[in-house]
Amino acid sequence: MGTEELKLRVRSKIYVYTIIIGLAISGLTAFPLETEMSYLVKYGTILPSSLQIWIGAIYQALKITNLHYPFLSYGTDWLAFAHIMLAVLFIGPLKDPVKNKWVIEFGIICCISIIPLALIAGNIRHIPVFWQMIDCSFGIIGIIPLILCRINIKKIEILEEHYGLCR
């Protein structure tokens, strides 16, 4: 393996670790939603008033729902689990990015799919537009390291192909 290929592999790992960490954090923060919202209500006074009102409404809804219907939070537990399992999925490209490039492509498809989901479901569920844009930003931000990783994988494939022909 040449130095150029090694550099590409290291950069690809950094991009993949970014995705893994983001997914894991997203998953882990989906478990304690009521506690997180309580914290934001208490300490989020520096936020714009419209956001404070929205966070307050979310907190009240979670608090009342968890008091009377705690089983509904089981849905967000599964959401958290899915994020963590998706993070595990990206271990494959860490080990062999070329062999597991399909995982990177899957991630790109997921990032693109966030936008219509957030806009359609957000509208149906009466989610404020500014919050829908925040949700869309996860796809827009997430796709950047994935595309950069995919570009590196293509370059690694070319180097491996060239190296194989030179033997």
Q: pLDDT tens digit string along 42-95?
A: 999 999 999 999 999 999 999 999 999 999 999 999 999 999 999 999 999 999
- As to burial, measured by CB atoms within 10 angstroms (0-12 exposed, 13-18 middle, 19+ buried), residue 8 is buried
Residues 148, 93: Cα–Cα separation, whole Å: 13
- 101 phi and psi, to 5 degrees? -65, -25
Can you give the pTM of this predicted structure? 0.89
Note the pLDDT tens digit of each residue in 126-148: 999 999 999 999 999 999 999 99
Check: CB of residue 55 under 8 Å from CB of residue 41. Answer: yes
Check: CB of residue 103 under 8 Å from CB of residue 89. Answer: yes
